Amino acid sequence: TIALQHGAHGVGRRRDAAMEKWRAYGLGQFVHWGLYSIPAGEWNGKQYNGAAEWIKSWKEVPATTYDSLMYQFNPTKFNAESWAATAKQMGVKYVTITTKHHDGFCLWPSKYTNFTVANSPYKKDIIGPLVKAYDRRGIDVILYFSIMDWHNPDWRYDIKTREDSVAFDRFKQFTRNQLLELLTLYPAAKGLWFDGTWDKSWVKQAAFADSLEKEMRAMRPGLIIGSRFRADEYGKRHFDSNGNMMGDYEQGWERKIPEKITDVHGNDWDCVMTVPENQWGYSKIWKGHIKTTDELLEMLAKCVSLDGNFVLNFGPKPDGTLRTEELDLAKGIGAWMDTNSEAIYNGEYAGLVKQDWGYYVKKTGTNKIYMLVFNVPVSGALNVVLPSRTAISKVYDLGGPGLSYVPEEIGTSTYFIHLKQQTFKRPFVLVLETADNS
């Protein structure tokens, strides 16, 4: 290992109560909302090919014209309670909400810039009511914050000149001021989800970012910050120059899911996922494949089976309502969670041989194992291979009252569970209780 001044603050998983709670969430919601929701991926009648929340970066969009969207931001139908109620019914345990995306528009009345809701026709704070509505339903709130800020004239993509350095120093103070302001205004927030930290200008700020992280953690003990916030003094991000993870969980799984347990290196992580291929902010037209409830449930199961959390994105409309497709998915996921959420909450990697029929999840701190079944074999027999000297003591269906199975032992600690019905409309969960028969 090499001596690092600004590398990872610790090695291995945090074991404090705040992080144990984060580890147990299983299912989360992302919310991307802001001025970009107004054009919704379209400008002067032309479709922007990128993600809707990046439309300001399109050469067709003059920055000042985009920024004047502030005077159109007036979500008269916004109701924080109804968003939180939808999330509650869906079964999410945490929500990550955009306070400021790359465009620089703040959904809270920041005193460090005029580019906020306070100067929009809406006038009122958005973040405060959302934090309150989610928190009182027992859904923890994480605040998304983009370091990159296209509105602030002191933002730089790299530091090449003295002038750049002077401007970026002002930008660093502005960033620190806004972050301390967010933590002060919204003390109920459990963490910060940083984005827009890949450009050289920020990557070069190892010392500043390290001291800011320490300052924020001191201000809010238990605060959860992911691996995307800062780089070490050699510019290494997510994992420092010694291969140790920066922050409390890995934030590299954006629109992708690890394949196997070795991909996550024993760390905590969450996967943030869009419903269409790549749209976070509201987009009028969803191009390409739109994920179904069953696809999203399988992503959720896969993430939890590999020690992670699955966070599904919602892009609310400019009037403050949620789009129908997202409401339908929330209902479908919620209906499945009503029956099966015990296989998702407090779940972890079970350490068993992966089978084609689906995913194992182990209930943290117990020997209870869940089989989340997505692919029923034509034989109707689910293969289970346990560690040697471990036997199945009981198998029952989480959804079917009194539906239990007597497994057929076909070899040492190897079983077939013969399903009693051939057709299944939805994924289902079997509970496997094991006993040590050494």
Query: In the complex, which residues of this chain contact ligand H76 (CB under 6 A)?
Result: 32, 51, 53-54, 195, 254, 272, 280
CB of 278 to ligand H76, least distance (A): 8
- Shortest Cβ 110–ligand H76 spacing (Å): 19
What's the closest the beta carbon of residue 37 comes to ligand H76, in angstroms?
13
| Angle at the Cα of 30 from the Cα atoms of 72 and 364, rounded to 5 degrees | 165
As given in the structure block, the two tokens for residue 88 are 């509650």
Of residues 271 and 386, the one with the C-beta less far from ligand H76:
271
Our CB check for ligand H76 shows the closer of 268 and 348 to be 268
Residue 202 near residue 194 (C-beta atoms within 8 A): no
CB of 53 to ligand H76, least distance (A): 5
**Closer of 98 and 305 to ligand H76 (Cβ):** 98
DSSP 36: G
Cβ proximity to ligand H76: between 196 and 332 the closer is: 196
Q: State how beta strands 390-397 and 428-436 pair.
A: antiparallel
Which residues, 6+ apart, have CB-to-CB distance to 116 below 8 Å? 105, 106, 107, 108, 109, 110
Minimum distance from CB of 69 to ligand H76 (Å)? 17
CB 52 → ligand H76: shortest distance, Å?
9
Nearer of residues 27 and 272 to ligand H76, judged by Cβ: 272
Partners of 418 in the β-ladder: 381
Contact 356, 371 (CB under 8 A): no
Q: Which is nearer to ligand H76, 6 or 100 (CB)?
A: 100
Pick 53 or 149: Cβ nearer ligand H76? 53
Distance CA(308)–CA(24), nearest Å, equals 9
Shortest Å, Cβ 13 to ligand H76: 23
Residues near 270 by beta carbon (within 8 Å), at least 6 away in sequence:
28, 226, 249, 251, 253, 303, 308, 309, 310, 311
Sheet architecture: strand order including 269-273: 224-225, 191-195, 140-146, 94-100, 27-31, 308-314, 269-273
Distance (Å, rounded) from C-alpha 419 to C-alpha 381?
Answer: 6
CB of 143 to ligand H76, least distance (A): 13
286 or 396, CB closer to ligand H76? 286
CA distance 66 to 48: 14
Residue 28, C-beta contacts closer than 8 angstroms, at least 6 positions apart: 92, 93, 94, 95, 96, 270, 309, 310, 311, 312
By beta-carbon proximity to ligand H76, the closer residue of 191 and 334 is 191
Which H helix or E strand runs over 416? strand 414-418
Using an 8 Å Cβ cutoff, are 315 and 34 in contact? no
Give the residue with the Cβ less far from ligand H76, 54 or 122: 54
Dihedral sign, Cα of residue 419, residue 420, residue 421, residue 427: negative
What six digits make up the tokens of 15? 């074991």
Q: How far is the CB of 198 from ligand H76 (least distance, A)?
A: 9
CB of 95 to ligand H76, least distance (A): 14
- Nearer residue to ligand H76 within complex by CB, 273 or 322: 273
The least distance separating ligand H76 from the CB of residue 144, rounded to whole angstroms, comes to 7
In the complex, the smallest distance separating the C-beta of residue 3 from ligand H76, rounded to whole angstroms, is: 33
What are the angstrom distances between the C-alpha of 277 and each of 50, 72, 380?
Answer: 11, 28, 33
Closer CB to ligand H76, 22 or 36, in the complex: 36
CA distance 245 to 172: 24
Q: Whole-angstrom Cα distance, residue 108 to residue 124? A: 8
- Strand 27-31 versus strand 308-314 pairing type: parallel
Residue nearest to ligand H76 (CB): 280
